[in-house]
Every structure is written in structure tokens, then in C-alpha cells.
């Protein structure tokens, strides 16, 4: 990694939108307007809903449920925007309805609940847990801890403890394979999802998790970087949704191609480069992804093999795809970096039933490209 350029080391966050000529006031208005539309707007754009006097949830508008993915995303957005009120509402809802206290998955969060809190699954999804933990650490460092469940730092450490050590008593399974240090798709399986790999989070877990687990998280960061490099196709840069531990596509249930989950890989490359300086392979992979889509419009986006062969099936989330491709520009200054950002800037938030996933990725991209997706460190 190029530590000299990473914001973790410099505390300087690149505003790529400003670098490309957009006015700072206009960028700020855009970020604030997107927040209002997603969290306070009308039913065309809103995905956040308050529940009772002190809770709230993020609605997957295409599937009409609340997911740990979206709940943890909303918490990350809230801490970056300094909205403790929204953060606490989301976290309390997750603890109240999603947190499991019994069965083989006790200590994890049920990945899907109805808007009224009824649990629709007793299984967890590790991408939710890792975002919960990171958002909680940031909240602890930005706002300080209070009484449970708002003792954010301890909640994050307890969750990561469960993710690593679950099953040591013979009950349940961990979310990471403790031998190869790779995150699983779900705890009781032995394959993974390339978009779940967040080495930039694991670098921070290595500083703030339980001391006895910090070496694991440091190793996990490097293992995930090697893994994502292997999983991305050497010509197109595309990654499958599901993959084996050697990076090859896992076609179980037809998820071995480039589709909705896969889009997040490009975003993760960009944020890892922004926070920790990036590596040559990340730049090269970002270049390949952007080059693959350079001659396509969002209306053309499809499901693809990782070799780039299109299916008839159209992309469910074209706005999310173009957004993550733009976020990859943080990892590269290649020939298509500016055009990818300009396409994003000229695209509004999505409306309609499928807007949830697209607009989550859209807002993260706005934060990242404007230098507002930040590491919140413990106060000195």
C-alpha cells in the first residue's frame, strides 16, 4: 500500500469532485439534498422511516423488508453526516428486532425483518455485521459512548468477538474462516462473496477490536486484498457475486456472474485506496472495470459473465452500478476516471420500487468523491 497517500496517515481526504471542477457549494448542496431525499423526502425517494418514538429502519423498497445491509449502511451514512439522532434510531431498531439471543446464530443479527419488526429469517449476513461494527466504532469516536445499547465501542468489539469466535463452544459458526482469514457468504458455508471483502475496515478493526484479535484482523486485511485481486477477471476486472476461496466463480443458484452484489467491488477498491493509499493492482483493476463500461450506457447494463459476455437480463440496479464505477476513480487517474465521475454527477437519485440499493451506493459515492467518507479515530 502507498501509505504516504492514504487519508488514514495524512488525515487529508481527496475531494475528487472539486478536483474535476465542480464548485464546493454545489457539491455540499448535492450531498445535503441527497440526504434529505433519502431520509426525509417523499415516497418517491425516501428509504428511511421512523418507527415509534425512538426507532427507525431502512426499507428495501424492492423487497419490502429491512435488511442488516441497509440498516448498517444507514448507520454509516448517519455517522458520516453527524446525525446521531438517526444513527441511534436505526441501531435501537436493529437491536430490538434483528439481534438474536437464542439458537445457533445467537449474537448475530437476522438479515431480514418486516417493517413492523417481524423476523423473516433466523440467518445472518456478514456484510451487515462488518458495517455495523465499523459504524459503531466511528460513532464511539465521533460522539462518545453512553448507556447500552449506545455504548458503541463495546457493542462493536462484542460483535466482532462473536464473528470470529462463534462456534468455539460447539454452537454455531464464525463469519470468517479462521484459517484463510476470509469472510464467508454466510457463517455455515465455505465460500465467499468478493463484495463482502473490506480490507480498509479490517485495518481499523486491527486497531480497535479486542487486543487478542488484532493480529487476525491485520492478516485478514491482506488476505482480502489478495483475494479480491484473484477474484477480479484479469481483462475485464469484473468479479462474480459468489466465489470459491481461490477466487473462481461459484455458480451455486446462478450467482457466479457479475451482477448486483458485484458492483460494490469497484467501490471498495476506491475507498481502500483513499483510506490506505492503494496498490498497483487496485489501480489496474479499477481501470479495467471502467474501460469495460466506457462504451456502454446505463440502459445497456446487463448481467455479465466475468469474462464480459452479456446475458439478456438487464441490470436491476443501473444507477448503483454507475455510482460504484465512479467511486473506483479514487483508485485511479486512468483514461475513464473523469468520464465515470461525470456520468455519476449527471445522474440523479433513482426513484421507484428498486431505488433502495441504487441510492445507498449512490450516497456512499457522493460521500467518497466529495472527501466526506471519513475515518473517525479515537479522540486524543
- Residues marked active site are found at 69, 261
C-alpha distances (whole Å) from 291 to each of 285, 308, 310, 326, 373 are 10, 11, 15, 12, 25
Could you give the CA distance from residue 243 to residue 288 in angstroms, rounded to a whole number?
19
Could you give the CA distance from residue 14 to residue 19 in angstroms, rounded to a whole number?
8
Could you give the CA distance from residue 36 to residue 143 in angstroms, rounded to a whole number?
22
Written as one string, the DSSP assignment of 149-210 is T--HHHHHHHHHHHHHHTTTTSSS--SB-TTT-PBPSSTTSS-B-GGG--HHHHHHHHHHS-
Q: Are strands 302-304 and 310-314 parallel, antiparallel or unpaired?
A: antiparallel
3-state secondary structure of 60: strand
Q: Are 135 and 79 in contact (CB under 8 A)?
A: yes
Closest among 259, 260, 240, 268 to 328, alpha carbons compared = 268
Give the containing element (helix H, strand E) for 352. none
Neighbours of 207 (CB within 10 A): 13
Closest among 265, 267, 275 to 376, alpha carbons compared = 275
C-alpha distances (whole Å) from 148 to each of 16, 133, 160, 256 are 38, 15, 17, 41
Q: Which residues of 83-98 are buried (b: 16+ CB within 10 A; e: fewer)?
A: beebbbbbbbbbbebb
Could you give the CA distance from residue 229 to residue 246 in angstroms, rounded to a whole number?
11
Report the DSSP beta bridge partners of residue 50.
56
Provide CB contacts within 8 A for 48, sequence distance 6+. Answer: 38, 39, 40, 56, 57, 58, 59, 74, 86
Written as one string, the DSSP assignment of 247-309 is S-B--GGG-SSB-GGGHHHHHHHHHHHHHH---HHHHHHHHHHHHHHTT--GGG-EEE-TT-P
Amino acid at each position: 500500500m502507498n501509505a504516504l497517500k492514504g487519508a488514514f496517515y495524512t488525515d487529508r481526504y481527496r475531494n475528487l469532485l472539486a478536483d474535476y471542477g465542480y464548485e464546493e457549494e454545489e457539491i455540499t448542496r448535492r450531498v445535503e439534498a441527497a440526504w434529505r431525499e433519502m431520509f426525509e423526502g417523499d415516497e418517491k425517494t425516501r428509504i428511511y422511516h421512523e418507527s415509534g418514538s425512538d426507532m427507525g429502519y431502512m426499507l428495501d423498497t424492492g423487497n419490502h423488508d429491512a435488511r442488516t445491509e441497509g440498516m448498517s449502511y444507514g448507520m454509516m451514512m448517519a455517522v458520516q453526516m453527524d446525525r446521531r439522532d438517526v444513527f441511534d434510531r436505526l441501531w435501537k431498531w436493529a437491536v430490538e428486532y434483528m439481534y438474536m439471543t437464542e439458537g445457533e446464530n445467537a449474537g448475530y443479527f437476522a438479515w431480514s425483518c418486516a417493517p413492523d419488526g417481524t423476523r423473516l429469517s433466523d440467518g445472518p449476513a456478514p456484510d451487515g455485521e462488518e458495517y455495523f461494527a465499523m459504524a459503531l466504532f466511528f460513532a464511539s469516536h465521533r460522539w462518545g459512548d453512553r448507556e447500552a445499547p449506545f455504548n458503541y465501542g463495546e457493542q462493536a468489539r462484542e460483535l466482532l468477538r462473536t464473528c470470529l469466535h462463534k462456534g468455539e463452544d460447539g454452537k454455531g459458526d464464525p463469519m470468517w474462516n479462521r484459517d484463510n482469514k476470509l469472510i464467508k457468504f454466510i457463517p455455515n458455508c465455505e465460500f465467499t462473496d468478493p463484495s463482502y471483502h473490506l480490507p480498509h475496515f479490517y485495518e481499523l478493526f486491527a486497531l480497535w477490536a479486542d487486543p487478542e484479535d488484532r493480529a487476525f484482523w491485520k492478516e485478514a486485511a491482506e488476505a482480502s486484498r489478495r483475494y479480491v485481486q484473484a477474484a477480479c477477471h484479469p481483462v475485464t476486472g469484473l468479479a462474480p457475486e459468489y466465489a470459491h476461496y481461490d477466487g473462481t466463480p461459484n455458480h451455486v443458484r446462478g450467482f457466479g456472474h457479475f451482477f448486483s452484489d458485484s458492483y460494490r467491488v469497484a467501490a471498495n477498491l476506491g475507498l481502500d485506496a483513499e483510506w490506505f493509499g492503494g496498490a498497483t493492482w487496485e489501480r489496474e483493476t479499477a481501470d479495467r472495470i471502467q474501460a469495460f463500461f466506457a462504451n456502454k450506457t446505463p440502459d445497456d447494463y446487463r448481467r455479465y459473465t466475468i469474462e464480459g459476455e452479456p446475458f439478456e437480463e438487464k441490470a436491476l440496479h443501473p444507477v448503483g452500478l454507475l455510482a460504484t464505477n465512479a467511486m473506483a476513480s479514487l483508485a485511479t487517474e486512468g483514461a475513464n476516471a473523469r468520464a465515470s465521475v461525470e456520468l455519476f454527477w449527471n445522474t440523479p437519485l433513482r426513484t421507484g420500487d428498486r431505488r433502495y440499493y441504487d441510492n445507498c451506493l449512490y450516497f456512499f459515492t457522493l460521500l467518497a468523491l466529495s472527501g466526506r467518507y471519513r475515518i473517525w479515530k479515537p479522540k486524543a
